Structure 1
């Protein structure tokens, strides 16, 4: 909801004042409160509204503290204003404490307009804090009970869709969203964001292009920037990185010409940097950090970004500071705590080799896991695995993950959690790389026999079912898919469960829109024959050690044999350039038949006689002996 519309809900005073009028109202109200008046609650509320209209939320809080006695007595008269001040200052605890005290009525009851105002502020607060389900529920009910047009239908429809852009799975197919006949780029933008969150990128791009045309026609520059930034993001999610990068470059150059530092300018610059393959060896990370202008972003934190958006921005900053060899402060987030431990453990992130860093992190991770699996252990474990994978130390990566799972198994409360599933995902991928099918089957057996709540993480158990299929465990896969199908009616699951065969027409529909050339350009490899796949199978560590030992022995034997005939005191053979059989020192082995009869080669005696036409050998007639027999 726009700021000016929410202010109209808050004001509820028949005063349409400018900035100067608000200052004058504030001054008069303060004098009345200081000298005493008949209705101090009404005057304090009018003073708060005047200060809020000037966007001076900290001053509003100071006024409340200065008039605490009036607030304690008449506080119920301006609850809406206090909630709005706490929301704008990002005072989460104060907001929750005040909201719980007022004992809000059920969402279905809308007796007073003031109740709607409180619900509006609550919905905005929920969205900012990531409570998308509650925010959607409030806006959905506000839109359904807006018969008297207390609120603008278009704004309610837009706000109803905003939580769905972050969590589209809140609604099901039966949920009906409010519809507006009016053409609006805001509504198109929100609908496109919902589609992109569901993975329907082509449809989202189509709506964004329509929204951009409407915003350009109506002359809303800032909204054009927002739509352009979202369009570049959707193109990148679709996999069209080239088009996304070009679009971002044009957007950044256009925003620079404006000369103002808006959130869109800073976000566009950050997204453009994501296409650069930054290196701690070759790039100036100090310059990159300066270009991203995190100080300005900090000043916009509470005003412009939700908690989830700020988490992503702060994550990028922490990683850049780490690889710039700056100290990372121990914070409340899991990433900050993990990177803090990492930077303290490694002497120099830039110049110390990844091999040394991986070794240090591996031993420290083992110690942390043996001490317990709570806290920031999972974050440090993931960083350790990333370094081990970079160094291709597959065995250590698998060992540290299996150790973590074994420790989790000892604590029943920790099984079937997000951390447990994350490590299982990693192990499945590592087993695939190293070809350890037996280890994968053991993990799948433990998951199948262990405690599981499929509704908590449907995609994970769906993935586990397909892992069963990869090993040929069709019975276990079907059993698991039947449980998953109750929460996810995927056609692929249905085909496996009911053994339905693929129709030819259906297969053509699936493959007709596949651009093979584009896939090859993106690095997708063609399907290989089974013979080639077998030749690329990964061998175990023990087998590799045996092969290397055999190679070393053969190498030593060849060297020993070479030194027997090539001593340093021995003269060099002058006939070394001649073929071996033409040398004077050559002695053929016994029972060796030389059949080479080319020019310059050696021949045996029979071969010479066969070529000599002057001396023909007489044909010897075999003598026949008379057989002894009877006359």
Structure 2
């Protein structure tokens, strides 16, 4: 009886008749409450009607048996209700085959697990299927998100093919990837193509065409603003109707770009009101992290423009209290920057530091706050104080037993800031020790950052300590084990071990390219003429050659013509045949021909003569005399005339 009613139910069902299917399911379940077939069809009908929460309630009421039977539907309902972690767990246990893979990729994309989504789409693309076009569209979108998230090394697409440019969806996603890379001009070209294809598509109704053109125009507006094309941006505003945008996330982005395009920033209070008119998007309609961070930054910036300093401090402090500290997340550290800006109250330089430094003393583990202080010190030219601030915070992290604090202590980004500061002051030993400690710490972790290990190993190569060279060799060997195609790791290993044990690296020399091959296409003359400084040896040789060219022998000097002197510069009664007196430059009394006149002058001349007779009177030196306050000596008192008392 149940099977007959179910069969008749399915015969009456059509794609546009989900309400009737739901009504028939309810009638069947009223007679047989545990009819799992009817429950399953009811869940599908509710999903078709976008009643996702009602579908979840039916699934919960049906128990594990219904959830197992309708695993794919259960995961989809969880996804639409923004329960992404539960949806991923459910779809992973589902045996729905290719459909489950599509849903897992979609949920991973919404959960911003873009690397996992890209892996699934690549696996699905290995076998041809009717949904190849959809896979291409979604794969391009995933790569754009990877680029925006800063994981460019996992991006698979580089340049769109001819087939990709035949679909406006693929062209649009390819434009987004170029925009994320910063190639705005190329992104503008692809957006134009996507717009033209969409406008001329015969497969879209006028309503669908208008709905598809809206996000393209909003993205186009962003590109024009970034390129400074204000006139074109103002013309494009006429094509965008914010009231027609159904998705709150798209509407919020559109309002932000429209406000900026209209240049309402001349009045910060008008700008503040305009940016806060659109309500927040929720559930699966919410913004991605990189979008949310940008809009949140705009909101905080306009708060500062209208001098809401105390409100800025309270709101950012509340958000920071919900985040782990220390944190390497960009969004968390950005909040710390705005929190510091609230304390600075519009001031910069030393005045801002005076307000922010007490806050850093209370929160030494706040990395965003620390970087703000470092930036202010560097702008003021005070590198030493910036180094002291970083080292003080690192000591606070080092004293903690928390694993998260230790990860932050050796965070590659934070250490790169410290190394850059050390380089400004030429502290090579501190750079080596800092990188060596970080490398020793991260080698114990399952996924150590290769960039930090490479920097540490390269720095240790410049050390004269054999133990440092051995450590560099171990690091380069570890990098080679992680990537056998890493030529830098091979070269570094050879360089570190060549002076320690040449026999260990002799077999690796064949894997390195010949020097002649590396410099084969280099034009040395062109480099030098372009301003490249020569090496020390060649510069020394050139200097020696130049000095030799300036030297002349005595014969060359004699052979040169005598320089002609003007008559106006010659003295009176000048005789060219008479040899000039060689002592003419000396004072008269210092010349050998000088003969003093008179007894006193003769005595002085004799006293000045070297090698003359020295008398005892001349040897006596004058005794120091103590000046008397009364002035004058005994004779002065005798000769003093009597005056009135």
* TM-score, structure 1 as length reference: 0.58
Give the Å deviation of 1:91: 1.2
Q: Which of 153, 165, 168 is the matching residue for 1:169?
A: 153
Give 5+ residue unaligned stretches, structure 1: 1-11, 106-113, 513-525, 528-631
Asked if 2 retains the 8 angstrom alpha-carbon contact of 1:139 and 1:156, the reply is yes
What does 1:214-225 align with in structure 2 at a 5 Å threshold? 214-218=197-201, 220-225=209-214
Quick one: distance in 2 between partners of 1:241 and 1:470? Answer: 45
Query: Quick check: 1:363 aligned with 2:358?
Result: yes
Given the superposition, is the C-alpha separation of residues 316 and 464 from structure 1 closer, same or farther in structure 2, using an over 3 Å criterion?
farther
Matched residue, 1:90: 82
SS at match of 2:434: helix
Query: Quick check: 1:267 aligned with 2:253?
Result: yes
SS at match of 2:125: helix
Query: Quick check: 1:405 aligned with 2:419?
Result: no
Matched residue, 2:35: 40
Q: Which of 154, 157, 167 is the matching residue for 2:133?
A: 154
Q: Which of structures 1 and 2 has the bigger CA Rg?
A: 2
Quick one: distance in 2 between partners of 1:424 and 1:344? Answer: 23
Matched residue, 2:26: 30
Give 5+ residue unaligned stretches, structure 2: 1-9, 147-151, 493-511, 533-645
Given the superposition, is the C-alpha separation of residues 360 and 199 from structure 1 closer, same or farther in structure 2, using an over 3 Å criterion?
closer
Matched residue, 1:79: 71
Quick one: distance in 1 between partners of 2:344 and 2:12? Answer: 62
Give the Å deviation of 1:94: 3.0
Query: Quick check: 1:241 aligned with 2:227?
Result: yes
Quick one: distance in 2 between partners of 1:272 and 1:464? Answer: 47
What does 1:81-120 align with in structure 2 at a 5 Å threshold? 81-99=73-91, 102=93, 104=94, 114-120=96-102
Give the Å deviation of 1:25: 3.0
Q: Which of 55, 62, 69 is the matching residue for 1:60?
A: 55
Give the root-mean-square deviation of aligned CA atoms.
5.2
Quick one: distance in 2 between partners of 1:508 and 1:222? Answer: 57
Quick one: distance in 2 between partners of 1:431 and 1:272? Answer: 44
Q: Highest relative contact order (Cα 8 Å, sep 6+), 1 or 2?
A: 1
* TM-score, structure 2 as length reference: 0.57
Query: Quick check: 1:255 aligned with 2:240?
Result: yes
Asked if 2 retains the 8 angstrom alpha-carbon contact of 1:444 and 1:464, the reply is yes
Quick one: distance in 1 between partners of 2:458 and 2:224? Answer: 29
What do residues 555-606 of structure 1 show as CA deviations (whole Å, max 9, x unaligned)?
Answer: xxxxxxxxxxxxxxxxxxxxxxxxxxxxxxxxxxxxxxxxxxxxxxxxxxxx
Matched residue, 2:417: 426
Quick one: distance in 1 between partners of 2:57 and 2:164? Answer: 45
Give the Å deviation of 1:197: 4.7
Given the superposition, is the C-alpha separation of residues 261 and 441 from structure 1 closer, same or farther in structure 2, using an over 3 Å criterion?
farther
What do residues 272-319 of structure 1 show as CA deviations (whole Å, max 9, x unaligned)?
Answer: 66789999xx852x53343224643x2355225345544544454455
What do residues 427-469 of structure 1 show as CA deviations (whole Å, max 9, x unaligned)?
Answer: 345456xx4122x651244204642659744555677799999
What do residues 134-188 of structure 1 show as CA deviations (whole Å, max 9, x unaligned)?
Answer: 2122222222234xx4x42211222233322222422669x99999689212222
Given the superposition, is the C-alpha separation of residues 184 and 346 from structure 1 closer, same or farther in structure 2, using an over 3 Å criterion?
closer
Quick one: distance in 2 between partners of 1:181 and 1:336? Answer: 34
What does 1:313-392 align with in structure 2 at a 5 Å threshold? 313-318=295-300, 320-321=302-303, 324-325=308-309, 326=311, 327-328=314-315, 329-330=318-319, 332-333=322-323, 350=345, 355-369=350-364, 373=365, 377-388=366-377
Q: Which of 204, 212, 220 is the matching residue for 2:195?
A: 212
